[in-house]
Amino acid sequence: MNKKIYITTAIPYVNANPHLGHALEFIQTDCAARYNRLKGNEVFFLTGADENSLKNALAAEKEGRLVEEFVEEKRAIFKDFLKLLNIDNTDFISTREPRHFEGVKKFWQAAEKDIYQSDYQGIYCVGCEDFLKEEELIDGLCPIHKTTPQLVSEKNYFFRLSNFQKQLEEIYKNDVIKIIPENRKQEIESFIAGGLKDFSISRSKQRAHNWGIEVPNDDEQVIYVWFDALCNYITALGYGNNSPLYRAWWADSSTEVWHFIGKDISKFHCIYWPAMLLSADVRLPSKIIIHGFITVNSQKISKSLGNSVDIKNIIDKFGIDVLRYYLLREFSLAQDGDFSEKNLQERYEKELANGLGNLLNRVVALIERQGGKIKIEKNLLENVINEIWKKYDEAFLEFRFNQGAEAFLQLVGETDALVNQTQVWAIDDVEQKNGILSSLWISLANLADLISPYMPEISGKMKQSLGIKNNDKEFLGKEFEVKRIPPLFPKLN
C-alpha cells in the first residue's frame, strides 16, 4: 500500500549565503523524497528560511541595511541555491509570511498552559540562538561557533519543558518518534536522562533589535527564534486556519512526518519540539533523521568560521549530479566526513566515467551494430537485479544513502561482467545474442531508475539513450530504439 510522507529540512538562518553543509541536508532530503516518489508514495517536501533570528538582524545592521530588505535578498539567494542543486521541493516557507505569523501565535496560545513569565540570567550564544551551560564551553567559548557567549539578564516567558520528562522518555523508549541513526537516539536519551529544565521562549524587543513575532498580548516581547522557527513545519501547511492541507499532511495520523536535520540542532527538534507539540495537543513527527557535519581540515563548514567550499566552482567543473552523487556516496549519517575535491574526482573517474558511463556507451554501441533497435525478450540478470533492488530498498529504510549507491554500483559491475564473460560481440546466434543484449538493456533501464534519486539529470539522459518514454516499467516483449548521446561523464580538463 502506498504511503503519504511529509518530508522537511531544517530552515536555515539567512544571515549569510548558503554553504556545502546546507547542500548536504538539502540533497539528502531531496534524495529521500525522490526515492519515495519512485516507489509510488505521495510526498510533500518542505524547505524554507528562518528569518526572525537575531543573527539575521545583527548581520543586516553590520551592513547598514534594513533587516526586511536584507532577509528578502538572502531568501532569494537560498531559493536560487535550491534550483542550483536541482532540489524538487513542494513548498518553501518564509517565517516572515502571514501564514507563519498566524500559526505561531495560534500555537503559543494552544501551549499557554505550559508558559509562564520569570526573571532569567544566563550565558547566550547568538550563533546557536541558545543559552549554554558553563560546562558546555571549551576555554570559555561556544564549542561550535568558537565565540564568547553573552551574559544576559532579563524577564522572559518560559516553557515548562520539565513537565514532559517522563513522556519524552517513553516516546524514545518505544520509538514513537524514531531517531535515525541509532547513535543519535542514544545521545538524546542521555540528554533527557540528565534532567530537563524549562527554557526561555521570548526575548525583550530591545534585545531582539525589534525583530521577530510579538508575544500574544505582550507588545514588549518577541517570541524566541526556536519556539517560532520550529512551528514552520505546521504553519507552512496552514495550521493557523486548520486548512485542508494541514489536515491531510500533518493532522492525519496515517501520514508519516519526517524531519531531516543536522546534529547541532538535535536538542531543539528531538526534545523541545515534541514537548511543544504535546503541550499544544498536536501530533508528533514519525522520524527525525540526523546527519553529521561536513568538515574542511577537520572543522565544521560554517558561515561564522569562514571556511566554506565554493560550490559553484565544483558544479562548473563536475556538474550538479556529480556533486549530489559524491555527497550521498561519501558521507554516512552516523559520522562526520571531510570534504575532498581530490576524492570527488577519483569517484568521478572510477565509479562514474569508467563505470556507469562506459557501460552505457558499450551496450548502446553493441545494440547499434544490430541496427539500433532491440526487442526485449530475456533477462538473464533478473535474479541479480532483484537482489540489488532489495539491498537498495533496505538501505533507504535507514537512510543509508551511501549503501544505496553501493548497491547500484554493484549492478554496474555485474552488468559489465556479463558483457566481458559472454563476449556478446562475437556471438553469431541471433537469438542468443539478442537474449544477452536484452539482459544488458534491462539492467541499464533499472540503473536509470536506481540512480534517479541521486543523479536525476543523468538518469533522464540514460533513459533518452535507451529509448525509454513515459516512465515505462514493463519491458519484456516491447521494442526500443537506442541512440548514442554525448558522454554522461566527459573527461575533465
Q: Confirm whether 463 is a catalytic residue.
A: no
Find out whether the peptide bond into 216 is cis, omega within 30 degrees of 0. Answer: no
Q: Confirm whether 142 is a catalytic residue.
A: yes
State the catalytic residue, choosing from 105, 145, 269, 461: 145
Q: Confirm whether 259 is a catalytic residue.
A: no
Q: Confirm whether 291 is a catalytic residue.
A: no
State the catalytic residue, choosing from 142, 231, 269, 291: 142
Proportion of the chain in helix, strand, coil states, percent, rounded to 5: 50, 20, 30
Q: Confirm whether 270 is a catalytic residue.
A: no
Q: Which of 154, 156, 163 is nearest to 114 (CA)?
A: 163
8 A C-beta contact, residue 180 and residue 260: no
Written as one string, the DSSP assignment of 362-388 is: HHHHHHHTTTSEEE----TTHHHHHHH
State the catalytic residue, choosing from 55, 74, 100, 128: 128
State the catalytic residue, choosing from 105, 185, 303, 433: 303
Q: Confirm whether 113 is a catalytic residue.
A: no
- Helix, coil or strand: residue 222: strand
State the catalytic residue, choosing from 31, 125, 231, 270: 125
- Helix, coil or strand: residue 359: helix
d(CA 5, CA 258): 7
Q: Confirm whether 100 is a catalytic residue.
A: no
Q: Confirm whether 231 is a catalytic residue.
A: no
8 A C-beta contact, residue 4 and residue 422: no
**Strands (DSSP E) along 115-255, which ranges?**
115-125, 130-132, 150-159, 178-180, 199-200, 202-204, 214-215, 218-223
DSSP-assigned letter for residue 300: E
State the catalytic residue, choosing from 55, 267, 300, 463: 300
What are residue 261's DSSP bridge partners?
A: 290
8 A C-beta contact, residue 401 and residue 329: yes
d(CA 330, CA 30): 16
d(CA 241, CA 91): 18
Within 8 A by CB and 6+ apart from 468, the residues are: 445, 448, 480
8 A C-beta contact, residue 129 and residue 145: no
Question: Which residues are catalytically annotated?
Answer: 19, 22, 125, 128, 142, 145, 300, 303
